Amino acid sequence: MPESLDAEAAPGTRVKVRFAGQLVNGWLLERVGESSHPRLAYLEKVVSPEPVLAPEIARLARAVADRYAGSLADVLRLAVPPRHARVEKEPPPSPAADPESPDPGSGPSHPDGWSGYPAGPALLRALTDGRAPRAVWSALPGEDWPARYAEAVAATVAGGRSAVVVVADARDLDRLDPAMTAVLGPGRHVQLTAALGPARRYRAFLAARRGQVPVVIGTRAAMFAPVPRLGLVAVWDDGDDLHAEPRAPYPHAREVLLTRAQLATSAALVGGYARTAEAQLLVETGWAREVTAVRAAVRARMPAIAPTGDDPQLARDPGAATARLPSLAWTAARDALSVDAPVLVQVPRRGYLPAVACATCRTPARCPHCHGPLGLPSARAAPLCRWCGRVAAAYACPECRGRRLRASVTGARRTAEELGRAFPGVPVRTSGREEVLAAVPGGPGLVIATPGAEPVADGGYGAVLLLDSWALLTRADLRAGEEALRRWLAAAALARPGAAGGRVVVVADGGLVPVQALLRWDAGWFAARELAERRELGFPPAVRMVSVTGTPAAVTDLLTETRLPAAAEVLGPVPADGDRERMLVRTPRTQAAVLAAALHAAAGVRTARKAADPVRLQVDPLTLF
């Protein structure tokens, strides 16, 4: 340490060091009086005297890197945003007053609040008393979940501690932010997302690091937020794939927050309408307790839910098994519109006609150039390839030479067009990738939305129609049933209670397990069943599984260098995208740390050898097939 940098070089600061003849960025983690290393170099520069890397975040980053077989530098790149020098020089704002502990029955949307759950008041008391309860919360239908989270955070702050809350996307954050302001008061929390821009994001980060605010809310960018005296970490809808970081080492927000709770001995709250197998594992192992309402309260709040594929419905409407909009769904929409209530229609596919086929022989229409699937972007457009973007205006079926096309998959815009003709004079709105609506008025209207883009209706929807259930249930994915139920519950939760006329129609066979869970509104039952099946088959989270993806030679090289645990199994290879392949390495959870360390060491050996072909390591990836 040069004497000229002694005053500025505090642990947690950004520094520059000379490495391999170049100045590279680094972090000062600790200062010691002596070292056992035989050769030491001088620190070249302190980039900023601001200690942005808190000691607890450095420990967390090390734990996350070890869990995901990654490097500490990659995790720190996710944990600390890029420096903004002008923001560092801004004067700090004046601190706001501390809030009072909330009344557990003072929810702004429903008078019951946390008192609607037998364990809810005890949860708030434990947070206020400075204890560390860990809960998996199954929200009631129509629950004002932002208000419940704000009350839990306020109880934590009233006990003298801080909180971090992570949601999946900006729509959830836009609902959570005013709820936090209403309960905590202005100036008591900040938002931290990657979409804020460099200056605003760094300003929010510094406010948390300097202890100017006790609460940070945000998307997965907030999972590493450095708040003082952490008392609560919370995540909403942990099954949403947006919680998974797409950059190495690919950590999941839920796992990062649970690791923080373990290291800091803080409270943890995992909530949602649905429940993942990972959350169920927390309950079954005793790491967390479930917070659920009694069945009478669930029945009083849930809408009337009916499938179209059960025997009584088929007896009344024989075409219900094949119809996209059976008479039961059409009647539910008509009845809701007749009482001036909005109708939500969930369609899993966006666009107009995402897939088409020959109208004569039903052969799927493929692009003559790249063999990608053809679709129709609008009613008057020519067929367009979804892979290469070429227009196939002169398409002719290679089997029968027919030129007429029919729909194989119907998208949200085509559904809006069809329903607009079926219910003339009724306003039709769409919510999807191009434009996501946050809210709609409570009058009569049709809202066609893709999963995850359903807007909130004033007063709730009179009817919710869940179409094309096969698109969610038949995906070749381990989490297909779990994801389908999560999407359905999120949409059905926006409907009015059954006593107020709310109805939900799911176009699916009532005997399917996810449909049964929806009919009963019992996400815990489905999660327990799903976890039991995964234990029997040896899939996460019952085991630890690592995906190894790269060229065949690179994957073989990495696995040859890896000292796998004795109980590890190597599965594959299977084709991946391009010329790459994927291998899966499975091991019991008791040997998960050993497997991650072995793979990380083998990857380091390949890096030291300057291997040309990279290999992607993903621990417990969301997609296995």
Calpha distance 165→219 (Å, rounded)? 8
The H or E element that residue 557 is part of is helix 552-561
Residue type (1 letter), 515:
V
Q: Flag whether 397 is marked binding.
A: yes
Q: Which residues of 2-16 are buried (b: 16+ CB within 10 A; e: fewer)?
A: eeebeeebeebbbbe
Calpha distance 111→107 (Å, rounded)? 6
- Show the tokens assigned to 600: 């990380």
Taking alpha carbons only, the member of 405, 398, 337 closest to residue 374 is 405
* In the block, residue with structure tokens 């926006």: 494
Q: Flag whether 241 is marked binding.
A: no
Sequence-distant (6+) residues with CB within 8 A of 544 are 586, 587, 588, 589, 591, 592, 595, 596, 619, 620
Q: Flag whether 400 is marked binding.
A: yes
Quick one: residue 74, left, alpha or beta (phi over 0 = left, psi -120 to 50 = alpha)? alpha
Taking alpha carbons only, the member of 429, 518, 423, 532 closest to residue 472 is 518
Q: Flag whether 555 is marked binding.
A: no
Q: Flag whether 295 is marked binding.
A: no
Calpha distance 503→482 (Å, rounded)? 22
Calpha distance 240→622 (Å, rounded)? 10
Q: Flag whether 248 is marked binding.
A: no
| Angle made by CA atoms 65, 263, 543, in degrees to the nearest 5 | 55
Per the annotation, where are the binding residues for Zn(2+)?
358, 361, 367, 370, 385, 388, 397, 400
Per the annotation, where are the binding residues?
358, 361, 367, 370, 385, 388, 397, 400
